[in-house]
Amino acid sequence: MAEQDLELISTLNEIDEQSFLSLCFGPSVSIRTWLLNNAERFQLRPSLLFTVFLGFTKDPYPYVRKAALDGLSSLGNTVFEDGGMIEGCYCRAIELLNDMEDYVRSAAIRVVITWGLMLAAHNPERKQQLFDEIFVNLCSMTRDMNMKVRVNAFDAIRRLEIVSEDLLLQSVSKRVLSIFKGKKSLVQCSTEQLELLALNVAGAFVHGIEDEFYQVRRSACDAMFNLIILSTKFAGEALSLLMDMLNDDSVPVRLQALETLHHMAKSNCLKLQEAHMHMFLNALKDNDGHVRSALRKLLKLVKLPDLVTFQLSFNGLLESLESYPQDESDVLSVLFHMGQNHVNMVDSIIKDVFEQIDPTSEGKLEFDSVKVLAYIVLAISALALDNHTLRIPPRVFSYAATLLGRISHALGDIMDQSTIFAYLLHNSKHIGLSDLGFNSEGASCSATCGSSVNDIPAIASLKIPAMVHEQGQKDDDAIESIKTILLKVQDIWPLIQSGVLHEVLRTLRFCKEALGVLTYGTNKYNGALAFTSQYLKILKLVAKVWNLMSLKHSYPHGTGEWGLLLGKLERGLKELRSRFIGLTKEEEQHILELMLVTCILGLSSGEVCCHLTSLRKLSTIASNIENLLKEEFKEPSTFVCEVQRSLSNLGTITPKALCTSLDLRQMLKYFTLGHLEISEELKHIKAELVISDNNYEKPLYFVPGLPVGIPCQIILHNVPSERKLWFRITMDNMTSQFIFLDFLSLGGCDEVREFMYIVPFYRTPKASSFIAKICIGLECWFENAEVNDERRGGPKCDLAYICKEKEVYLSMIQKG
């Protein structure tokens, strides 16, 4: 009641320690539960909270026990120096793993891993023993009757850094192994107790992989992420289990298995054998494009043991390409990386197949076939590495030049088209392209390159400037192409209203592909290109949310996909308005009207709790549009007028009545997607954040409880002097710290600023190591944030993030 009554909130915030304890020990179970769940809102000492939480883990009411355990989990980031307190909390959580209630056991798992890691950090001499003990206890929960408990158990195992090899091997074998006989490495216990512990561990990962729920199978795959680097034998056994998951019915499980395999490849723990290849390469034919993409990403890294597995991989990529021709560029990129990773195998393969692909030798394969293109990309990849002199015929590079368009599109992330062209000319030596007599792309290339290419250095020096001039012409034409794309996009609104989602997505996909062609090598209109790309993403989200709204009677609004898409849409529009300089009044009005549509779609979720907030947003945006139109002496659109009329009736109509589906749909009928005339002078606000020489093998060192400096190399693009920037640092995806970035004192101009900056992180936990995530946010000048405890001393406005989030690996300094 206090949270809903503004007059009572101030009274609620005045609760002191004595009042808190008095209410906790009062007769009301609901009040006790609420206080434990919201204890962090009050200014209470951590030691007092610890005592209260630990005491109420023995409460007879299970919801109170759960709230107490959740409170202990939240205290995990607090530094406690008393080892006895830490161990007492850890042992109590171990006891509650046997609680009768599912949600209590789930909460107990979180406390076991959080406080178990704290205990291990506090007792370095017992670290191995404690990690093993935690692993055993968590493995015992992987066969719990409740699905969520099993998921939480595997999620907790994911956080372990050290586990003995014998326990790891036992976890992938259902049969109790002989390695436990006569060993007492975990704790001081009898042989019978040790065998019981072994039974708890036996086959934990096997059971997880075979679980009937995909959530458990996915978590089991993820739990192996850090453990595979601890033991070569365990990595081999885990590889067999993960291979089985590539044929799982669930896409999230297949993707998680591939992500773990990718980590194995990066850690040099992935040892593929011929027996694995069938299951491994079968994922290249997966119906889901994300799965195929993830496997191709893995093939760029993996080191294949022999020529047989290499040839199998090559054939698998070609078969995949036959089924999914849209993947051509990505497949060719994979082949290029594979060639660089296996240069000797490439030499052997090209030598055997050269006569089949050589037109002058009347090769058996058609020159313009995908297979020939794949062989050519494979061949030219080997010599891209310095100091490699292989027996690749120079004529192959001449053939590659005739296919320059397709090859350069595939290798755009490695080198630009001019560099590729010069590289091919240099390695083709004195072979004349005009003497090869090819059609299709070959003919166009001959026309471009001239009738004689015998003097390779001269041609290279002439053609590269010519290509640069051609690219300059493309830059000048880019804005016209963007305007054409936006005209095409305007036509999709009737399709969105009609619910023809497939056709809408297809049109947007074509527009995105056309924009991708412009993006390649274009610099002059980067701001307009970035704006258009973001605009296409927003329209895609609008179409999906609109489609879900039309399924009102069959879709659970407010949760799941609906809430996820709506959140992305709101963030995307916020970025569109915040991260671009030079927006015209028309462009800003266009964005604001889309914001109105988003608010109305949010109100259609049927969640009464969000009515007031959404209506406030609706009113604010409508006022912004009204002020904007007054400056331009223009009349509002019919849609804006209808929104203003509905808002004016708030005095006589309750918010809930206003948000009925009939009223909202009637309002949306008045909206039409107007033409967006994009400005040529747009500038994109963005940042590049680099944390060099930092990974899990080279962490930054810290002392728990003391600040640690994170060295960042930063490049800011187009950030105006009047805008405010903040670093956001998160840990465990829960707590956030904001640091103001005073970039004006660092010099540079508004267009580009490049500098080093040491970002202080104050919330270093009592843990042996952890990962923090850091990014840079720009204050949204047009929208105030709801200030909460987490934002104290932080930004006063919501942030639009202008760079990708980076992971920072930190490790505690060990006492010598």
| Residue pair 109/157 in contact by the 8 Å Cβ criterion | no
Q: Tokens 């008095």: give the residue.
A: 22
Is 80 exceeded by the pLDDT of residue 780?
Answer: yes
- Over the stretch 378-412, which tens digit does the pLDDT of each residue have? 888 866 554 444 567 777 777 777 777 788 888 87
CA 466 to chain centre: 40
Straight-line distance from the first to the last Cα atom of the chain, in angstroms, rounded to the nearest whole number: 55
Q: How far is CA 48 from CA 27, 54, 112, 683, in A?
A: 20, 10, 20, 53
- For residue 332, what are its two tokens? 């060719």
Can you tell me the distance from the alpha carbon of 699 to that of 810, in angstroms, rounded to the nearest whole number?
5
Q: Which residues contact 99 (CB under 8 A, 6 or more apart)?
A: 62, 65, 105, 108
How many angstroms separate the CA atoms of 356 and 351, rounded? 10
- Judge whether 738 and 761 are in contact, CB under 8 Å: no
Are 62 and 81 in contact, with CB atoms under 8 Å apart?
Answer: no
pLDDT of amino acid 809: 92
pLDDT reported for residue 786: 47
Confidence band of 194 (pLDDT split at 50, 70, 90): low
Percent above pLDDT 90 for the chain: 22
Q: What is the CA radius of gyration of the chain?
A: 31
Average pLDDT over every residue of 536-561: 73
3's CB contacts (< 8 A; 6+ apart) are 9, 12
d(CA 594, CA 375): 49
Give backbone dihedrals phi and psi of 588, rounded to 5 degrees, phi first: -65, -40
Q: pTM for the whole thing?
A: 0.54
**pLDDT of 645-685, one tens digit each?**
877 766 555 555 555 544 667 778 888 888 888 877 888 99
pLDDT at 453 over 50: no
Helices (H), 383-500: 394-402, 404-410, 417-427, 441-449, 456-490, 493-498
Give the Cα separation of 681 and 582 in Å (integer): 6
pLDDT level of residue 103 (50, 70, 90 thresholds) = very high
- Identify the pLDDT of residue 13: 60
* CA dist list (Å): 299 to 28, 316, 388, 737: 60, 11, 22, 38
- Report the helix count and the strand count for the chain, using DSSP H and E: 35, 11
Q: Which of 316, 291, 287, 318 has the alpha carbon at shortest distance from 304?
A: 316
CB 231 within 8 A of CB 166: no
Q: Cα–Cα distance between 308 and 273 in angstroms, integer?
A: 10
pLDDT averaged over the chain? 79
Alpha-carbon separation of residue 276 from 280, 334, 718 (angstroms): 6, 19, 50
Helices 456-490 and 526-549 pack at an angle, to 10 degrees, of 40
pLDDT digit string, tens, across residues 224-278: 988 998 988 999 999 999 998 998 899 999 999 999 999 999 888 888 888 888 8
Nearest to 812 by CA among 135, 157, 122: 122
Predicted pLDDT of residue 218: 94
E strand segments, 656-751: 683-684, 686-690, 700-702, 708-717, 725-731, 735-741
Sign of CA dihedral 678, 679, 680, 682: negative
Q: Does 758 score more than 80 pLDDT?
A: yes
Q: Which two tokens stand for residue 119?
A: 């205990």
**How far is CA 383 from each of CA 349, 399, 429, rounded to the nearest angstrom?**
14, 15, 13
What string of DSSP letters covers 55-70? HHTT-SSHHHHHHHHH
**Per-residue model confidence (pLDDT) at position 260:** 93
Per residue in 349-372, pLDDT (tens digit) is 887 877 776 665 555 555 557 888
Query: Do residues 62 and 103 lie in contact, with contact meaning Cβ atoms separated by under 8 Å?
Result: yes
Long-range contacts of 657-661 (CB under 8 A, 24+ apart): 658/603, 658/611, 658/615, 659/603, 659/604, 659/606, 659/611, 661/552, 661/604, 661/606
Q: What is the pLDDT of residues 434-450, one digit of tens each?
A: 333 333 333 333 333 33
Q: How many C-beta neighbours within 10 Å does residue 428 have?
A: 22
